Amino acid sequence: MTARQIILDCDPGHDDAVAILFAAGHPGVDLVGITTVAGNQTLDRTTHNACVVCSVGGIEVPVHAGAARPLLRPLRTAAEIHGESGLDGPAPIEPAVAPRAGHAVDWIIDTVLAAPGDVSLVAVGPLTNLAMALRREPAVAEAVREVVIMGGSYTRGNTTPAAEFNILVDPEAASIVFEAPWPVTMVGLDVTHQALCTPEVQRGFAEMGTPAGDFIDGLMRFFRGNYAGVTGMADPPVHDPCAVAVLADPDTVEVVPATVQVETSGAFTSGMTVVDFKAPAGSRHRVATGLDAPRFWAAVHAAVAALPAPLS
Ligand code: RIB
Ligand code: CA
């Protein structure tokens, strides 16, 4: 099977970090580059963190910084989950790489248009960069192979009763992304809450004996404590690599046709993803409904273990 070319748009973020390492180490993925967006933390921090993760994972791909705030709304971050750095837990690491010059949105457009039909976008933060790319160059909707996002839910939210964090930070951007004429798969909380970093899963990283495994172990120790304190969940859901798995190993994630609309004006429901499973035939939207968790974690462990030595 030919590896799937992906651009990973993210807001590292503990689970974003696992998604980056998973994508870089999985044989089914050709990680073309990383773009960053403000979300879990401010853009300077999420971009710094992406460079830290690339350094730890020996990942030599371009990193471009994108939007520093949502299209219309003020930025909200998630320090209560990810800490002040956005990647609290492991001892601070000075990255061996720096972000490239140029805005992420321009790099996404140029990269996608240079290889029509080849590159997919996997977005695991607020969707501001993808919305800006669509507005700046609508042709990207035709040139992108497909879009997979971690975000939303067809049951309930995690930041408000109705809204998941990535969608809530920038509902207008999410609405633009779902309304655009490109195929979008939504991997929401309904599935990512099955991707729990149990003590056994965490031991798989801790006992790996590699810098990347040790790094993830340190991240998960912090993530576990904060997630339990904020949500009461005994084991933290590692949301973002689930979106990568849709392309890396499609049999890991069950998806079904649906239509997705985003509420942008509800007093209590702003940021809600309204999912209709009575989708017309040929719907360009799909929604994830199931996860083979043992297969997923086996693939994540194998990918992280396969990573090269850290960059220096
Ligand atoms: O709601 C979970 C999502 O919000 C994840 O992508 C997490 O990293 C945060 O961005
Ligand atoms: Ca994220």
Q: What is the pLDDT of residue 279?
A: 87
Q: What is the pLDDT of residues 205-237, one digit of tens each?
A: 999 999 999 999 999 999 999 999 999 999 999
Averaged pLDDT, 100-121: 98
Question: pTM for the whole thing?
Answer: 0.98
- Out of 9, 11, 16, 190, the active site residue is 11
List of domains in the chain? 4-305 (3.90.245.10)
Q: Which residues surround ligand 2, an ion (CB under 5 A)?
A: 11, 13, 16, 124-125, 240
Percent of the chain with pLDDT over 70: 100
What are φ and ψ of residue 43, in 5° steps? -60, -40
Pocket of ligand 1 (CB under 6 A): 11, 13, 15-16, 39-40, 124-125, 150, 158, 164-166, 239-240
Averaged pLDDT, 160-183: 98
Q: What is the DSSP string of 163-221?
A: --HHHHH-HHHHHHHHHSSS-EEEE-HHHHTT-B--HHHHHHHHTS-SHHHHHHHHHHH
Q: Whose CA is nearest to atom 1 of ligand 1?
A: 165
Q: What is the pLDDT of residues 271-295, one digit of tens each?
A: 999 999 998 878 999 999 999 999 9
Averaged pLDDT, 36-53: 98
Question: Residue 1 pLDDT > 80, yes or no?
Answer: no
Three-state DSSP class for residue 283: coil
CA distances from 268 to 28, 47, 66, 125, 163 (A): 41, 32, 29, 22, 9
Measured from the CA of 13, which atom of ligand 1 is nearest? 8
Q: What is the pLDDT of residue 281?
A: 79
Q: What is the pLDDT of residue 282?
A: 83
Averaged pLDDT, 116-132: 99
With the most atoms of ligand 1 within 8 angstroms of its CB, the residue from 9, 14, 16 to mutate is: 16
Q: What is the pLDDT of residue 127?
A: 99
Question: Using CA atoms, how far apart are residues 74 and 170, in angstroms rounded to an integer?
Answer: 9
Q: What is the pLDDT of residue 100?
A: 98
